[in-house]
Structure formats: structure tokens, C-alpha cells
Structure 1
Amino acid sequence: MSHNEHLPTTEAPNPLNTPLFTERVEFLKSSQWWNKEQLDQFQLKQLQHQLWFVSSHVPHYRELFRSLGFSWQDADSLSVLKQLPLLTKQEMQENPKRFIPDYMKADRLYHRSTGGSTGMPLTIFMDLDHLSRDKANTQYYMSTMDLDIFHFRSIRLYGDRVPEEQLSKGHFWHQANDRMLTMSCYHFSKETSPLFVDKINAYSPDYIHTRPSAILPLASYILELGLTVSAKLVSIFADGEYLTLGQRKVIESAFKTRLYNVYGHTEGCVFGHACKDSDNLHFPPQVGILELIDDEGHTVSREGGRGEMVTTGFNNKMFPMVRYRTGDIGVLTNKQCTCGRHYPMLKAVEGRFQDYVVDKHERLVPLAPAVFNYNDFDWRGIAEFQVHQTRAGHLVFKVHRDQDCAESVEAMTQRLKTDLFPIFGKTFEMDVTYVDGISRSAIGKLRYLEQNLDIQKFSRTFSGV
């Protein structure tokens, strides 16, 4: 969900104050208990309307449908989507105005740019209606944990920079508004972590909104130093990155509360949330259609099957996406959740194609489950790290050591080679290099992998770690 947002030159109403926001929240709350037949019927009507709209008003789809001999009137079931090709980010990048309705000018729209974690940033155009629906999604999923946007205190730990005047006082946070404290994720150390914990306890938030790589260093210091978080947190909401079981264990142990994972993307086609009963991601069908597509282009249907998440969104009429390739890999579950919602669910989102490395056999191997398995490797002495790949079968680990690390470089290198690298098997050559720091993206995201290979060329060759 991370993005940089830009507004038109004229000041627009706050999307939280629009009638559509209120109406949409109430709709999502009431329709969450619909049965599967009701949800399927709603999705089909929304799909029919979307296909009519794009064929009537959006140049890209109008020409595409004409070339295929496809008519929106043929959409008598959701399976009609299979007649349409997948949409790539590159297609949208090359001529974004072809995806804007022909009656609308781009300079009258808001736009957001993705953080570029896939190495391919994309600008998304939208109107106030879409912003209102997007905020309603947030209000809805928070309500599933008995929270909301308006009445609870929160801490935002998300890559935001704290004003210099605060930092000069040794304050690594600032009060963003009367309900939200923003903290820096750039100043964690053994010396500062007790200060962060003291501030969290004093502020006593109801929840924390974060991304895994932002809060993980603080959680690790809390456990290492034996610090106590006494604030009674209802939940930690984490989004924007792949969350591993190892990360979840560390964060939940440190903060003594449940981590509530949320899937979202700047494109806004779908979103997924956990519930009180399960960590599985529930994807509300009212927002859009989620498909899982395997390497052969077939729909994934078996329990535990993996596939690329392909989405068709209902919320954004100003930049509609039909069968959009997200680059994210989902793990399917067909089980019905005990919460009572009849939503499609994923066991996990295993990160983007760019979160995979390529072994010497040109197979894709997911990186995060290996490097974040906290039961198998001792990360003490390592402040940050980043993996680089420029050729198949070869990885370079760039390591930023803790300032007070007593272990020699030679000993740490040997420990990496002995305890971590064997997790990958014998299909990689690995080197270690030491650096003074790891840079973050413009939106504060620490990319643990800098992948310079074109991963989609290898997408037919999954492996497992």
C-alpha cells in the first residue's frame, strides 16, 4: 500500500468526510456476512458493469475488445475473464493515458506512484471516489478487530522521517495529530531502543501501523535487551512487504500482541485482511476479483497451490485494470474460515517475483523463508543486510555490522558460510561483503534483495526453500 501521493492543484475534500466513504463502510460491514451465492452474483454484476464501462470509455480496452471480437454482453459468468489477456505493468507504463477514460484529463486526477519494490515503478491515476472507497477499505478491516480510524490512538512506524528539530533533541518521533504518533525507523540501536520502548509505553497506543522490515529491528532489540512493552496493544497492523513466520514470531513476542497482516497494493484492485479466527488473508469480493494463475496460464485450484495474483478491480473507474498481473505470489487455501465470511483466502503472499533468487539450474527460490528463519541462524552483530544477484547461481550478501559488534569480520564471515548459506543447498555460490550502511527506498522500505535479473523469464521454474 506504500505510495507517494500527488493531488490536483485545486484542493479537494477529505475522502474521510465524503458521503461515499460512510456509505461504503456500511456496505462492507453488512455484506461481509453474505453467502457465497450473493457474493458471486454481486461480483458478476460488477464485472459486467466494468467491462461495459471500459469498452465504452477506455481506449486500451476498446481497441483490445475490438481486436478480440469480445463483447461485454457475453459476460454471463466470471469465467469470461479467461477470454482476455493478462495486463502487465509495462503495458500501462508505456502509455498510461490510454487507460484513462476518454472524457477525463489526467491533470484533473490524483495520482500515486508505487514504491518501485519490483524495480518497475508505476503511476496510478484516481478520483475522489476511489480515494473514498480506499479509505473505507481501511476503516472496514480495522472494524474486524473492533478498532477504527477516528477514535483510537496509534503509532505509525512506516518509514516516515521525523523533523530535524525533534531529532536534535533526541526525540525520534513526533505527534502527527491528536491520535497518531509517528516514529522513525532509522534510529534503532541498543542505546536508543529503551527510549523507543519508554515512549511507546508512555503514549499507550491501541495499535501500531507498520511494515515488517520497519518494526523488526526494534522487536529484535526488545528481546535481546529484555525490554518490556507494557502498553496494552490491541494489534499491530503490518502491510507492504512479505511477512514470514519467523518475523511474526519475533514481533509478536516483543510486543505481546497479535500481528494482523494486511495485503494491499497501490493499484487498489483488491485487498486482503486476517480476522479474529485466522491469519489467512481474506479478500473481500466486493472490491475486486482475485485470480491465482500458474506458469501455464491455468487457474490454481488445489489446496496449497501457488500462483501469481491477477486482479480485476471494481473501485477505480479512472484507471481501470482488468486481469492485472501484480507480480505477487499467493498460496491458496480452499478451507472455509470459522469467522463466517465466504471470502476467497490465501494462506500467504510469498512476495513478488523480485523477492526470488535464481539458482544455478535457473530455478526460482524464495529468498525470505531462508534468510528470515530465526530458528536456524543467529543474527547478533548484524545490523542490516541486503542480498544482491546479478547472475544465476550467485549471491552477494552485503552486511552492515553493529557498531559494538565484538565478533571479528573473519569469524562472522565463517558463521554465515557455516550456518546460513547451507540453507540454500548447493545450488548457489555465495560471497560476503561488508558495508557502512544499507540505503532505503524513497518511501523508507529496506529492500533485503536487490535483484538485477529479469525474474519473469524464469517464472516457470519454481523451487522451494
Structure 2
Amino acid sequence: MIRRYANYIRKNIIRLPNFINYFILNINQNPTMIYGIDYQRYKKYLNKSDTTFNSELHLLNVVNSAIQTVPYYRRLYRGMTFKDINQFSKCFGFIDKDIVMINMKDFISDKVKIADYDFGTTGGTSGKPLQLIAPKTRYIIEFATIHSIWERIGYKFNVRAVIRNHRLPKRVIYKINPLMREVIFDGFRLNDNYFQDVYKTIRRLNIAFIHCYPSVAYEFSVYLLKNRLDVSFIKAFLCSSENIFDYQLDLVQNRLGIRFFNFYGHSEKLVLAGFCAKSDLYHIEPTYGYFELVDTEGNGIKQVGDIGEIVGTSFHNPGMPLIRYRTGDFAEYVGDICPVCHRRVPVIKNIMGRWRGDRIFNRDGSFVTTTALNLHDELYSVIYGLQYVQKEKGILQILIIKSPLYNSMHEEILYKHYKDKLNKDTKIEIKYVDELIKQPNGKFLLLISKISSTN
């Protein structure tokens, strides 16, 4: 009964008037009050485990337990005990979203107490959503780990502005969630008029951290830069859930001077990573899940600069352990020690979420990837937004948001750039827009394609 009322309050407290929630927000200074003593204990555990945690030993314990309790693994590995990481790498097979969807019930442990678990789904932006179960107490590990990552750049349970996937009534500028210490803005009303309201609010409330998608951080930064607004009080954009592009990092960090701090995770909750405090390299958090980076043959990547697929194993979901799950996300291998801060964890960069090589097709079926179409820095400096739209082979529409410095010469350079990269008979159409196209969940895709690679 108490839990039911607590859940109701958490879900509905945002409905209270802002002046009441602002009062509660200022009282709520200690995360332990909201997340409980277990959160505090886990934060301490994370600090102690930073250099002592044995992820390989933890992985083997998860694997051997799963063989005993999970029908899918028991069917494949009955009678086997995995004793070292080499045996695991050679003998334990990979799974993916399709395998889990087909065998959903067989991935649930015999020992699960279903009352202790929540049902959920992945986002489904790349197809049919995957159904999952996760412990009701999962938020303790989730928030404790994410907050620890954010603390690298000075976050201490600060009030955050949130501009992600919330929709607010037209006349409402923001709502307050005092429990999460969030000032929530409309993620689907991104224009200069609304950005003016957002800026005035975060300036008045002295909000130093903005939690948003990378594309929103970029668009808001463009507004701040072109209006020459004071940003000295903003410490960082806390970003996730989208691919990051060099021109976004350049504008936000180099030209505007705000830290662009990204972290990586996914709905399956297998791997969590965040930027290094001193660089844009990702540190894999070892206590969260087991991380592998593999090539197309499933072999582990250990050559610096090679790109592989991120494979994860859950450490905190005994009810539905996903072992060697291919995420569909790719990244570049950097090493097992951070070359900047020297922390001993797996280090990667250039994460490409759900990336299979975004393809733009010529009329004859040949293609180039969006990476091959990257522009030179001088072009990125005169545009405020770029997006590709392809509805049929041989025709590419390029959406451009111009800066005041953009002129006809830049248009000529763009046409030449794309014609040099694509076949001569591919039609290039540049369209100037005020806003780029967002997905229903508020996320940005560089390429919106209606073409199947199998066509």
C-alpha cells in the first residue's frame, strides 16, 4: 500500500503548481531522502570498487548462475561450468534482439519473484519494441552510477534543466519535478521564441546543468551564440541517446565554452559509459555490466583505432540476464587504460548508436555512408543545422539551417561537395529550413531514409 502511494506521488507530483514544487525542490537537497539508504551505500561501493572490482569474476558468476536458472541458457549449456574468460569467449554464443524476442519466456529465470520486477520495453525506434523485466529496485544502481559519472564535472545533485521528450501545454513554459530536482521544458517546441523563455528561466533560477539530447544542446547553443547571451553560469550539457557529430562538439565546447558531457546507455541496461573528466573519451563503468567490443566474426577487438560492435552482459538483472547481447551500437577502441586520466577501465570513442553505416543510395543501388559525406570545418561554421532526407534512390534532399554568414558561394561549395561524393546522375536538392525534423520521441536522426538496404 505504501509503495503504491509512493509511486503515485512520484508520477503525479509534477501536476502541482510550480510555486509549490519550487518550495519542495529547495528543501530536497539530499538524494538519500529520495532514493533511500541503499542508494547511498551503492554510491560508496562505487567509489571503493573503482580500482578493485573484478568484472571477469563477476561475469563468470552471472553466467554460471544463469545456466542453472534460465531455460534458454540451460538448454544450450547444460552441465557446463565456465571457469575463465577465455573459455567464455570461445564457447558462449551471442544473442541479439531477435533471439530474445522469439524466446522471451525462456530468458526469464525459474527463480524470479515476478512481484519484485517491472515489465518494460525498449524504445522501438529501430523496429518492434523488445519486452523486458527488471528489478523494481533497479533505479538505485541506475541513478547512483549516472550521478557518479556526472560528478566528474562537478554535479552534486544540482537542479537540472531537462529538454528531452516531454510535451507541455502551449502556454506552459516549464514544469518542476522537485523529487528529481528537474525543471522540465518542452522538447518539441524548439524555436528561438521558446529558447528565449528557456534561457530566461534557467538564468533566473541559476541552473548550471542542462540535461538534453545532443541535437538540442547544439540548437540551444546556436541560439545562445548568435544572441551573444551570458553563459558563464552554465557548467555543462548532460547529453545522451543520440550520435554526436564533430561540428556539434566544436560549436558547444570550443566556440561557446560550455562542457559537452555525454554518457552512453541503452534500454536493455547492459553497458553504461560516460566521458572522461578531462576529455571526450568514454569510460566503461565496470560494475554496471560486462563490456565487449567485437568484430563481424565475433572476435574481441584490441587494436587501437579499430571499430566494433558493443556487446553487453547485465550484472544487475538476475530475473532476466542478457549475456553477450549484441546491441547494434558501434564504437572505436582506444584501450584498457585512459590515455588522458590513466583510469584503468575499457576506453572507447566515437560511439555510433544503432549504426549499420547510414547509407545514401545512388539510382543504380550503389551507396555512400553519411560519414563519407562529412563537410569541412569552414562549412560547418556557417550553418546551424544539417540533415539528409532520402525517399527514393538517386534523389537526396539536404536540409540546411543557415547562419548569417552563409551566402551563395557556400551553396556552390555544398553542391560540388555532394556531387563529387555521389554519382553524376544523383539529384541533389538543398532546402533551407528553420528547424530540422525530429522523431516522435524528440530525437534527431542525421539521415531520414525511406529506402531499405535490401531493395
Common fold by TM > 0.5: yes
TM-score by length of 2: 0.80
In the other structure, the counterpart of 1:111 is 119
1:372–1:130: structure 2 CA closer, same or farther, 3 Å change rule?
farther
**Any conservation in 2 of the 1:211–1:238 contact (CA below 8 Å)?**
yes
Name the SS of the counterpart of 1:326 in structure 2: strand
Q: Shift of the alpha carbon at 1:341?
A: 1.8
Give me the whole-angstrom Cα distance separating, in 1, the residues matched to 2:4 and 2:71.
Answer: 26
Give me the whole-angstrom Cα distance separating, in 2, the residues matched to 1:249 and 1:49.
Answer: 43
In the other structure, the counterpart of 2:397 is 397
Task: Report the residue type matching 2:287 in the other structure.
Answer: Q
Please show how residues 50-449 of structure 1 align to structure 2 within 5 Å. Answer: 50-66=62-78, 71=80, 73-77=81-85, 79-104=87-112, 109-148=117-156, 150=157, 152-166=158-172, 171=173, 173-177=174-178, 179-223=181-225, 225-253=226-254, 255-334=256-335, 336-337=337-338, 338-354=340-356, 356-357=358-359, 366-367=369-370, 370=373, 375-377=378-380, 380=383, 385-388=387-390, 394=394, 396-397=396-397, 399=399, 415=412, 418=415, 420-422=417-419, 424-426=421-423, 429-432=426-429, 440-449=438-447
1:454–1:110: structure 2 CA closer, same or farther, 3 Å change rule?
farther
Deviations 1:46-99 (A, max 9, x none): 112211221122121111224xxx61x233225513312211111112232221
Please show how residues 31-50 of structure 1 align to structure 2 within 5 Å. Answer: 31-34=49-52, 39=53, 42-50=54-62
In the other structure, the counterpart of 1:26 is 44
Q: Which moved more, 1:114-123 or 1:255-264?
A: 114-123
Q: Which moved more, 1:301-310 or 1:255-264?
A: 255-264
1:204–1:154: structure 2 CA closer, same or farther, 3 Å change rule?
same
Question: How many correspondences in the alignment?
Answer: 426
**Any conservation in 1 of the 2:368–2:422 contact (CA below 8 Å)?**
no
Task: Report the residue type matching 1:119 in the other structure.
Answer: G
Identity of aligned residues (%): 20
Give me the whole-angstrom Cα distance separating, in 2, the residues matched to 1:245 and 1:426.
Answer: 26
Name the SS of the counterpart of 1:352 in structure 2: coil
Q: Shift of the alpha carbon at 1:305?
A: 0.5
Q: Which moved more, 1:17-26 or 1:305-314?
A: 17-26
**Any conservation in 1 of the 2:240–2:264 contact (CA below 8 Å)?**
yes
Name the SS of the counterpart of 2:276 in structure 1: coil
Task: Report the residue type matching 1:22 in the other structure.
Answer: Q
Give me the whole-angstrom Cα distance separating, in 1, the residues matched to 2:418 and 2:333.
Answer: 29
Task: Report the residue type matching 1:92 in the other structure.
Answer: V
Give me the whole-angstrom Cα distance separating, in 2, the residues matched to 1:255 and 1:129.
Answer: 39
Q: Which moved more, 1:86-95 or 1:187-196?
A: 187-196
1:369–1:278: structure 2 CA closer, same or farther, 3 Å change rule?
farther
Deviations 1:92-111 (A, max 9, x none): 12232221112437676323
Q: Shift of the alpha carbon at 1:345?
A: 0.3
Q: Shift of the alpha carbon at 1:450?
A: 3.0
Task: Report the residue type matching 1:161 in the other structure.
Answer: R
**Any conservation in 1 of the 2:111–2:319 contact (CA below 8 Å)?**
no
Name the SS of the counterpart of 1:243 in structure 2: coil
Task: Report the residue type matching 2:441 in the other structure.
Answer: I
**Any conservation in 2 of the 1:289–1:313 contact (CA below 8 Å)?**
yes
In the other structure, the counterpart of 2:29 is none
Deviations 1:309-332 (A, max 9, x none): 111121222221111111111100
**Any conservation in 2 of the 1:20–1:133 contact (CA below 8 Å)?**
no
**Any conservation in 1 of the 2:385–2:436 contact (CA below 8 Å)?**
no
Q: Quote the RMSD (CA, aligned, Å).
A: 3.7
**Any conservation in 2 of the 1:81–1:323 contact (CA below 8 Å)?**
no
1:453–1:45: structure 2 CA closer, same or farther, 3 Å change rule?
farther
Q: Shift of the alpha carbon at 1:118?
A: 2.6
**Any conservation in 2 of the 1:44–1:78 contact (CA below 8 Å)?**
no
1:339–1:433: structure 2 CA closer, same or farther, 3 Å change rule?
closer
In the other structure, the counterpart of 1:450 is 448
Name the SS of the counterpart of 1:132 in structure 2: helix
Name the SS of the counterpart of 1:248 in structure 2: helix
**Any conservation in 2 of the 1:305–1:331 contact (CA below 8 Å)?**
yes
Q: Shift of the alpha carbon at 1:424?
A: 3.6
Give me the whole-angstrom Cα distance separating, in 1, the residues matched to 2:270 and 2:223.
Answer: 37
Q: Which moved more, 1:415-424 or 1:334-343?
A: 415-424
**Any conservation in 2 of the 1:287–1:314 contact (CA below 8 Å)?**
yes
Give me the whole-angstrom Cα distance separating, in 2, the residues matched to 1:428 and 1:286.
Answer: 52
Give me the whole-angstrom Cα distance separating, in 2, the residues matched to 1:440 and 1:44.
Answer: 40
Name the SS of the counterpart of 1:80 in structure 2: helix
Q: Shift of the alpha carbon at 1:212?
A: 0.8
**Any conservation in 2 of the 1:185–1:215 contact (CA below 8 Å)?**
no
Task: Give structure 1 stretches of 5+ with no counterpart.
Answer: 1-7, 459-465
Q: Shift of the alpha carbon at 1:202?
A: 1.9
Of structures 1 and 2, the one with the larger relative CO (CA 8 A, separation 6+) is: 1
**Any conservation in 1 of the 2:161–2:209 contact (CA below 8 Å)?**
yes
Name the SS of the counterpart of 1:296 in structure 2: coil
1:245–1:59: structure 2 CA closer, same or farther, 3 Å change rule?
same
Q: Which moved more, 1:244-253 or 1:259-268?
A: 244-253
TM-score by length of 1: 0.79
Task: Report the residue type matching 1:59 in the other structure.
Answer: P
Task: Report the residue type matching 1:46 in the other structure.
Answer: H
Name the SS of the counterpart of 1:388 in structure 2: strand
Q: Which moved more, 1:94-103 or 1:152-161?
A: 94-103
Q: Shift of the alpha carbon at 1:433?
A: 7.9
Deviations 1:387-445 (A, max 9, x none): 23665xx453264878x99x99xx79965851552474549934438699765334221
Give me the whole-angstrom Cα distance separating, in 2, the residues matched to 1:144 and 1:278.
Answer: 11
Task: Report the residue type matching 1:351 in the other structure.
Answer: G
Name the SS of the counterpart of 2:125 in structure 1: coil
1:233–1:389: structure 2 CA closer, same or farther, 3 Å change rule?
same
Task: Report the residue type matching 1:234 in the other structure.
Answer: K
Task: Give structure 2 stretches of 5+ with no counterpart.
Answer: 11-31
Name the SS of the counterpart of 1:228 in structure 2: coil
Task: Report the residue type matching 1:440 in the other structure.
Answer: K
